[in-house]
Amino acid sequence: MIQTTLPLLVLLGPFTAILSDVILINEQKNWTEAQAFCREFYLDLPTVQTDDDRLEIQKALSGANHDTWVGLYGSICVWRWSYQSQDLLFSAWALTEDPSPRTQSACAVIRNDGFWYATNCTQLKPFVCYKGNQMFSLFIRTNLTWIEAQSFCRTKYVDLAFISGVTDNTDVLNNLIQYSVYEAWIGLSKNQWLWSDQSSVSWPSLGWSSGEPNNADGKEKCAFVNVNGLLVDENCDKVFSFFCVVKRVKAQVVRLAVKSSALLDESAIMLAIEKKMRIILLKLETDPAFSITWRAQTDGKTFKPLKNNARNTTIVCKQDQGLYFKGPR
């Protein structure tokens, strides 16, 4: 007996079927107002980290010639390493310290007891530079503020001390003990860059304009992109036009017919087709994070027998016109 079925296959997922678009809002707002506007009417200020992001920004700007807010801002709530804005995976806070976000002091020193203490960034102290490859260098001749020390270390070496584990901490401590230093800045502060949509910051791929971020007057905690699509840190109270992220969900519906000479085991057929579809989609899409779901017919079943045998091909895939999808950005 020939049994032909006509099911609907729907491709729809929380990640894959989402197409992200950026639009330009031609209203003058400060950074906080711009963020609130995007979050109320759209999704968020955009993350501009990859070449694709920069291309999308340029497209949204479509020849307009002005500076435009994006979602990058300096957080004072999260402790991060100065080096590549890395998260704090290892810590050696002194027991008396409160490294919670409520702490007002926003920079950290290592003391000659080997523990870290939060303190005011504007104090003048010796400091430890990070030379790369778990190598450190202690500077005691000139005491600097945390920002000055960061600038010095970034110019001369890699960054302020980046302590990734016990061994690093011991190495730095031994330097302090050797030169009888009470305490010194390490590269830990609560004033690092974050994206409004919580994307993690990939420091090496951020496209800063030349000489930026320079945190002029210590007040530049937000970032805009200039006409070249490059990032510039700026006072958050300045007003600019801004970009918002708009996301649309798109689904691709595929209708297919299956020819079988026996009664169909629906679940086995569905599994086999899903496998086949995954192989096809993986070839089409660079990002594998799509999902496939089946659409039930009005009778609650996925497949239903055709009344005649007009369709006699083994598997027919037909893409509906005008629908497409794209992987997550």
Which residues are at the interface with Ca ion (CB under 5 A)? 214, 220, 233
Q: Which residue is nearest to Ca ion (CB)?
A: 233
Nearest distance, CB of residue 193 and Ca ion, angstroms = 13
* Chain CA centroid to CA 80, Å: 15
- Closer of 73 and 325 to Ca ion (Cβ): 73
Tokens of 282: 């993986």
Alpha-carbon distance of 140 to 107, in angstroms, equals 18
Minimum gap (Å) between residue 222 Cβ and Ca ion: 10
- Is the CB of 53 or the CB of 233 nearer to Ca ion? 233
Closest CB to Ca ion among residues 193, 290 = 193
H or E stretch including 33?
Answer: helix 31-41
Least distance between Ca ion and beta carbon 206 (Å):
14
Question: Minimum distance between the CB of residue 123 and Ca ion, rounded to whole angstroms?
Answer: 24
> In terms of CB distance, is 238 or 250 closer to Ca ion?
238
Cis peptide before 126 (omega within 30 of 0): no
- Distance set, CA 2 to CA 8, 20, 266, 267, 273 (Å): 20, 45, 15, 19, 19
Could you tell me the smallest distance in angstroms from the CB atom of residue 227 to Ca ion? 15
- Minimum distance from CB of 215 to Ca ion (Å)? 7
H-only helix segments in 126-189: 146-156, 166-178
Cα–chain center distance at 314: 44
Residue 44 vs 233, nearer CB to Ca ion? 233
Nearest one of 7, 82, 1 to 258, comparing CA atoms: 7
**Coil/strand/helix, residue 60:** helix
184 vs 236 by CB, closer to Ca ion: 236
Query: Whose Cβ is closer to Ca ion: residue 155's or residue 314's?
Result: 155
- Residue whose structure tokens are 């609130």: 36
Distance between CA 169 and CA 319 in Å, rounded?
59
Between 183 and 220, name the residue whose CB sits nearer to Ca ion. Answer: 220
47: which residues sit within 8 A by CB, 6+ positions away? 53, 70, 71, 72, 195, 196, 197, 199, 245
Strands 159-160 and 8-11: unpaired
Residue 172 to residue 86: CA distance in whole angstroms: 19
Query: Closest approach of Cβ 211 to Ca ion, in Å?
Result: 8
Tell me the C-alpha distance between 198 and 85, whole Å: 14
Beta carbon of residue 76, minimum distance to Ca ion (angstroms, whole number) = 17
